[in-house]
Structure 1
């Protein structure tokens, strides 16, 4: 039987359901606000702030936004002691070192190889990099993408599971999470420009539902 990660069974049980709407509004508002500037004003914003790329500070802010919003709401609700409990759940995992190696190095490597095969931006540059360069990029990708998981699955999902079934919560969050990515498909310099939007959105929704 799969055990859901529910706030009701965790030290963060005092986080109120009222934070559901603020989380969604802030997450979409900040991420879409940042990316919309580059999409709507492609001649002016990059000239002032620099071209968009996966290492651009504003891109990192947009990607990390769900996690940063979740952390802020946890602190507002429970203080920094609650934030420590929130992250403490990361270490409640019994896994051997090969699994940790796969998670820490294998998954980012798979993502990079997939992006290269799909002709994503920086693909030609990546091909020319030595092993240590690829390893460094893999570690960077490890911390770039998963931070959003703290928001969507670590914060939002348990709150939604309080008020609905896990399947319905997974469906709603999967759809919202997929829609949240839409601006990236229109923004030069992001990997999403080399991907097809609808297959990505269907895949994201199905993945969240299966893991909920």
Structure 2
């Protein structure tokens, strides 16, 4: 009796992923598996998107200029990433740099992110800056002022993304809702644990699904 061969499972295209940023991208103080880009890739895989574990160019303390310099020094000249994410700016605010400077340098980073994605703005996603003013680290500081300035920097990023046709995902409100919950923060009281960063990944997931559909 003839038995037909089983139908092979569909091959899921593999999407390379590059994450650019600072301490929030590397998840300072948290396990590597808890980093939000790593969690995003795994969530995407669970929905059938073949997003690979991310390459990461990020370091604690980096401003926009320092990230751009590190990218140039990295030797990574690839232009074939299927997805590029960017989360940067908290150190610009922390160091008292101007929003005008941030706008100029952030715009340059958006162009760099597009280059990594072969010029496709539709394959780049930006996450908003967390509000460190609501962390235990900020106790005793002017938390209201920090929050206002974070909003101003995020408004710049949102506007630049709109002009460039790049997706922007707001995760700042999650970081504000974490205030008072010690389980949301690593031992330094400034950075976030896996459960908080999972919220960011979940927030970005439907946007990434739309970009990669």
TM-score (norm 1): 0.29
By percentage of residues, which structure has more helix?
A: 1
The answer to which structure has the higher strand fraction is 2
- TM-score normalised by structure 2 residue count: 0.29
Higher relative contact order structure (alpha carbons within 8 Å, sequence separation ≥ 6) = 1
